[in-house]
């Protein structure tokens, strides 16, 4: 089978071009992991998300950014058309095709088109996935573009805080891998690495499809099954990724200062181990957290840190989800001088929240707010498509978003206090601050339980 394809080292290293053909005697391909399509004929548009199960979490050590680079290379031209010609065709059909790398546990190809042009658009989508033109020249360009985006993040303090929090919190676990990768990792990615990633992760049972819009479910299922058949024959070696091991997070409180001299404002994340829907207290904690760190101006963090003291424009506490429990993080961004008292107050508020729970009034506000706003999370087919894709990425129960308000409504006030104590551990907090270390280090060292801060320059990659 391998000999029948122009896919050996001599073929692509000599020319810098991979030309891939399907063997005539290929074995029957595996079935796709999942196909889910919702017919909605209210608008003449079709939305499709094709999901690969390999993302930044599967990047090999030393080559962080491979999943992102390899996926984007599939949109850099095909064996029939240059990148410019390909996207001109897509645009003439009223369509869009892009790679969305916002998840660490997979990559998403998002496509949408006017339904009257669906057939021709599906041909183009198949062309870019089955017959990409993966050249060394385009790879060199994409690597330079990606390194530019990584450098741009160094000017975005909020992005810096998020990246450093992931690495400091998760250590060497794949959840700490940056989606774009690192400069060093991207530079190390070779033409062969991209081709190997394509052959391992774009096959029969490594891809899923989620979609909605003005088309028949049967038609979309037929098309995707044919696509999977071709990719399965092309890449019989492709196999689903192995499940990740649960991250081991150090206990205790710890601090990282990402040193950015002469900054007048800081970006702060304070977090700990999160949860998943199978956690018995999941919905009680979701409800309580809306009252503590939600987006409302009535949320406790917002009232105490912004409204009463004016230390930050925003203050919130959010959860990040994945196939395994990930993390929660409190976020605020005060002036440098206000940073130590703002952190101390945020931690004190969190300790009081876990210890004492909510008042009856706070409980009722959070419950009613979440229930009343829930329909806006799935009132269009495009939103429902996004929900289905996220449920797949996170391995959440099908219908999680649809059933969210029902599960919130089932929470009783008496559930809140024991739920908070069961899920949150105020003694185990990770603090990451982007700011001027010379002005912050001494004061942050005085924070109860956090100890001596670790200091890293914002210019240095971990």
pLDDT per position as a tens digit, 219-277: 999 999 999 999 999 999 999 999 999 999 999 999 999 999 999 999 999 999 999 99
Q: Which CATH architecture has domain 2-234?
A: 2-Layer Sandwich (3.30)
Q: In terms of pTM, does the model score above 0.85?
A: yes
Instruction: Report pLDDT for 68.
Output: 97
Angle, helices 157-170 vs 136-153, to 10°: value is 100
Task: Delimit the domains of the chain by residue range.
Answer: 2-234, 254-457
Same fold, 2-234 and 254-457: yes
Instruction: Report pLDDT for 48.
Output: 98
- Taking 70 as the pLDDT cut, the residues of the chain under it are 1-33, 462
Check whether domain 254-457 has CATH 3.30.830.10, yes or no: yes
């Amino acid at each position: 089978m391998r000999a029948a394809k122009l896919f050996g080292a001599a073929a692509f290293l000599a020319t810098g071009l991979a030309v891939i053909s399907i063997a005539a005697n290929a074995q029957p391909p595996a079935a796709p992991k999942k196909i889910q399509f919702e017919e909605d004929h209210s608008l003449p548009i079709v939305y499709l998300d094709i999901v690969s199960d390999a993302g930044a979490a599967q990047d090999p050590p030393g080559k962080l950014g491979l999943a992102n680079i390899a996926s984007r290379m599939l949109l850099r031209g095909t064996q029939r058309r240059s990148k410019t010609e390909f996207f001109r065709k897509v645009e003439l059909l009223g369509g869009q095709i892009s790679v969305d790398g916002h998840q660490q546990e997979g990559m998403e190809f998002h496509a949408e088109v006017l339904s009257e042009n669906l057939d021709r658009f599906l041909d183009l989508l198949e062309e870019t996935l089955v017959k990409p033109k993966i050249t060394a020249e385009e790879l060199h360009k994409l690597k330079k573009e990606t390194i530019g985006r990584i450098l741009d993040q160094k000017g975005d303090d909020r992005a810096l805080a998020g990246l450093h929090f992931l690495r400091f919190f998760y250590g060497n676990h794949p959840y700490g891998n940056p989606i774009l990768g690192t400069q060093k990792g991207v530079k190390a990615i070779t033409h062969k690495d991209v081709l190997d990633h394509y052959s391992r992760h774009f096959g029969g049972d490594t891809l899923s499809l989620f979609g909605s819009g003005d088309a028949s479910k049967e038609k979309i299922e037929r098309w995707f099954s044919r696509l999977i058949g071709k990719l399965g024959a092309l890449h019989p070696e492709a196999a689903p990724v192995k499940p990740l091991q649960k991250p081991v997070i150090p206990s205790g409180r710890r601090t990282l200062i990402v040193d950015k001299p002469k900054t007048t404002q800081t970006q702060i994340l304070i977090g700990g181990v999160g949860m998943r829907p199978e956690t018995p207290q999941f919905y009680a904690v979701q409800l309580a957290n809306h009252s503590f760190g939600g987006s409302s101006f009535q949320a406790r963090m917002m009232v105490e840190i912004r409204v009463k003291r004016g230390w930050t424009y925003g203050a919130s506490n959010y959860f990040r989800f994945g196939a395994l429990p990930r993390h929660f993080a409190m976020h605020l961004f005060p002036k440098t001088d206000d940073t130590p008292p703002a952190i101390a107050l945020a931690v004190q508020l969190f300790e009081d929240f876990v210890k004492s729970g909510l008042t009856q009034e706070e409980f009722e506000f959070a419950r009613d707010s979440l229930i009343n706003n829930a329909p806006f999370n799935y009132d269009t087919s495009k939103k429902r498509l996004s929900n289905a894709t996220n449920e797949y990425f996170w391995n959440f129960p099908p219908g999680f978003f649809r059933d969210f308000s029902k599960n919130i409504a089932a929470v009783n006030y008496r559930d809140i206090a024991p739920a908070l104590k069961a899920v949150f551990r105020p003694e185990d907090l990770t603090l990451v601050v982007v700011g001027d270390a010379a002005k912050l280090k001494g004061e942050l060292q005085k924070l109860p339980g956090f100890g001596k801060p670790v200091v890293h320059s914002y210019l240095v990659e971990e």
